[in-house]
Amino acid sequence: MDLAIAAYQNRIASLLETANQLLVYKTTGDKFQLVRKIDIAEVSITALPQLLRQNNITELICGAVSGCVFNMLEVSGITVIPWMTGEVESVIEAYHRQSMENFIMPGCCYHRHRFRRGKRKTS
């Protein structure tokens, strides 16, 4: 399983469409290791699902995302973990600990959900 984070500089991009790179992580033992960066500044949002599949990415952590784009990614087999904010390193550590609640965007509709290894579970 590869995990990608939609980033702008060293933070989660506040809006998926404004991300300029995907940071791709693999699980190595008990850690996540950054294995590559993919420049997506010029990639159309409609081409994103295919790009993710071509790079064997199964999960995407991102900031805000429209319902249409969310559905397009999910239909393509990508698990989307939206509405996240913060520095990339802090978010990847929280993902690894299964404790991403502190990184949910303020005012976000997912405030009542717990995240467990990328899967949303209602409290």
Give the pTM.
Answer: 0.85
Q: What is the CATH number of domain 2-122?
A: 3.30.420.130
pLDDT at 112 over 70: no
3-state secondary structure of 41: coil
Domain boundaries, the chain: 2-122
pLDDT for 5 equals 98
> Which comes out higher in pLDDT, residue 14 or 116?
14
Q: Which helix (H) or strand (E) holds 6?
A: strand 2-8
- Reported as a pLDDT band with limits 50, 70 and 90, residue 30 is confident
CB-based contact 59:87 (threshold 8 Å): no
Model confidence pLDDT, tens digit, residues 51-109: 999 999 999 999 999 999 999 999 999 999 999 999 999 999 999 989 999 999 987 66
Residue 87, judged by CB atoms within 10 A of its CB (0-12, 13-18, 19+), counts as middle
